[in-house]
Amino acid sequence: MDLSSRLRAIVKSGPAASRGELTYEPDTGRYEASVDLGQIGALLGGRPVDTPFGRCLVVDRRYEADRWHGGVRIGDCEVDDFGSLTILDPSLGTGGQTPEVPSRAFPRTIFIDLETTGLSGGAGTVAFLVGCGYFDLGAFQVRQFLLTSYTSERALLHAVAEFFKDADMIVTYNGKTFDVPVMETRWLFHRLQMPLDSVPHFDMLHPARRLWRARSGVVDADDGGCRLSTLERTLFNVNRVGDVGGFEIPSRFFRFLRNGDPRPLEPVLEHNRLDLVSLAAVMARAVELARGGHEACRDSNEALALGRIYERAAADNRVVNRDRVLSHAETCYRRGAQSRTAEVKAEALYRLALWHRRERRYVEAQALWREILDLTEPKAVQRITGMRPLRRFAAEALAIHHEHRDHDLDSARELAMFALQDSEGRRADDIRHRLSRLDRKIAKKTDAQLFPS
């Protein structure tokens, strides 16, 4: 049993009177003993709430349905087709569904974003701001739990746990790696029950990388091209004014603890609120793509990325109607093959050819392999190194086709020689082995023609 499992077992067994208290209340100065939550709440637009472990500060904000976030309306960000989420993440569904068939509904979906005292995680990292968003009658309601002193952390964690009790699903951005582990660590530290253990978790970061990673040319190359701030700008034309940088956020909280002035925290709260709204908007856009297929894509780059998501979902045994999902992938690849970008077009043709070959439509696959070779000329390959493997694979696939289906050994040998130019290592050895076999077959065929029996 690893350490995490042992800690979970301790928490689930409940506190014992003989065990010592695991929490601590650091002495950081006079301010901790004289925190005026009412005054802080008045400055930040929040209110104190009572818990069995003391009081904590809660800040509520509401974004009405007709309000705009860049180029998208808040009301249009509410997702009611959760069947499409199983295409983006098949683990969400008990049986999975196609884009047209809704899965089980998640009426209380909570979006989560934390602001912490550090970005590396670990036992010393504390979430001083827990931002939660959810849709209420078309509007997006944000509730933020603010830590005003280390001694009130247990009160904050209890209030957050109570808020999560009725959650049907949580949505985060990199939350499986960072946000949820940070919260679980703090709940474990304080021996509080963890309310997110059995709640379905949709992490939007992974579908976002598949849909809008830098290779597609839609977003910048920083952080894999998928920072939430980058996506909100490129997808919805959101331009924040006076936004506080993420690197500056912990220092503002520490300054607040030292001098008791909460005003520098207001930009931090606004930054957190905008992150939650953007997360809801990005998720809604991803669901729109999964539901609408190639017709919902803005360009061939996005269609190619969506096709890969469909194909990945079809490979998961939790997704039903696999043929229909693959059909969506094919139409997305066909649109991707219309791209004017050689790299995007070549990959779309490659994936279409693989699909035809799996369906035993060898003639159509052969035409696509040939088109890839025509597209990936040596000059283009020199400019875009990522196209070299596609060129080699297409040449090899055509060599196999001519050898085993057309029985055109000379063409097969020529293509194998062509593939050898772009190969090295073990792959080159395999092609040399193919060439040796072809040479033997050609020699045997020549002998049969010269000396017929």
Q: What is the mean pLDDT of the chain?
A: 84
Cα(380)–Cα(378) distance, rounded to whole angstroms? 5
Of 34-48, 98-112, 267-281, the range with the lowest mean pLDDT is 98-112
Mean pLDDT of 341-369: 90
Listed residue (247, 263, 266, 348) closest to 302, CA to CA: 348
How far apart are alpha carbons 70 and 240 in whole angstroms?
Answer: 9
At 444, the pLDDT band (50, 70, 90 cuts) reads: confident
Q: Please, which residues have CB within 8 angstroms of residue 206's CB and are 6 or more apart in sequence?
A: 89
Cβ(164)–Cβ(196) below 8 Å: yes
pLDDT of 424: 79
- pLDDT exceeding 90 applies to what percent of the chain? 53
Bridge-partner residues for 201, per DSSP?
Answer: 170
Cβ contacts of 67 within 8 Å, gap of 6 or more:
73, 74
pLDDT score at 225: 57
**So what's the pLDDT on residue 445?**
82
Q: pLDDT, tens digit, for every residue of 155-184? A: 999 999 999 998 999 999 999 999 999 999
**Residue 407's pLDDT band (boundaries 50, 70, 90)?**
confident
Strand locations in 173-227 (E): 201-203
Q: What DSSP designation does 55 have?
A: E
- pLDDT tens digit string along 321-339? 788 888 999 999 999 999 9
d(CA 184, CA 194): 6
Name the helix (H) or strand (E) containing 119: none
Q: Which two tokens stand for residue 106?
A: 């998640």
Q: What is the pLDDT of residue 29?
A: 43
SS3 136: strand
pLDDT digits (tens, 9 = 90+) for 412-442: 888 888 888 877 788 888 889 888 998 888 8
pLDDT at 216: 38
Largest CA distance in the chain: 107
| pLDDT exceeds cutoff 50 at 31 | no
Read off the pLDDT band of 21 (50, 70, 90): very low
Which backbone phi and psi does 402 adopt, to 5 degrees? -70, -30
3-11+29-289, CATH topology level: Nucleotidyltransferase; domain 5 (3.30.420)
Q: Considering only CA atoms, which of 238, 221, 250, 305 is closest in space to residue 276? A: 238
The two tokens of residue 93 are: 């569904």
Per the listing, tokens 């509904």 go with 105
Alpha-carbon span 147 to 257, nearest angstrom: 10
Identify whether the C-beta of residue 109 lies closer than 8 Å to the C-beta of residue 134: yes
| Residue 312 one-letter amino acid | R
* Half-sphere exposure for 105 (CA within 13 Å, toward CB): 6
Give mean pLDDT, residues 122-150.
Answer: 93
- The domain spans of the chain are 3-11+29-289, 369-453
pLDDT at res. 22: 37
Q: How far apart are CA 396 and CA 209, in angstroms?
A: 30
pLDDT of residue 390: 86
pTM: 0.84
- The letter for the amino acid at 292 is G
Residues with Cβ < 8 Å from 280, sequence gap 6 or more? 77, 78, 111, 133, 135, 140, 171
Is there a contact between 333 and 304 (Cβ–Cβ < 8 Å)?
A: yes
CA angle 169, 133, 4 (to 5 degrees): 50
**pLDDT band at residue 223, thresholds of 50, 70 and 90?**
very low
In the predicted structure, residue 198 carries a pLDDT above the cut 80: yes
Cα–Cα separations (whole angstroms), residue 375 to 36, 218, 328: 69, 22, 25
Q: What per-residue confidence (pLDDT) applies to 55?
A: 92
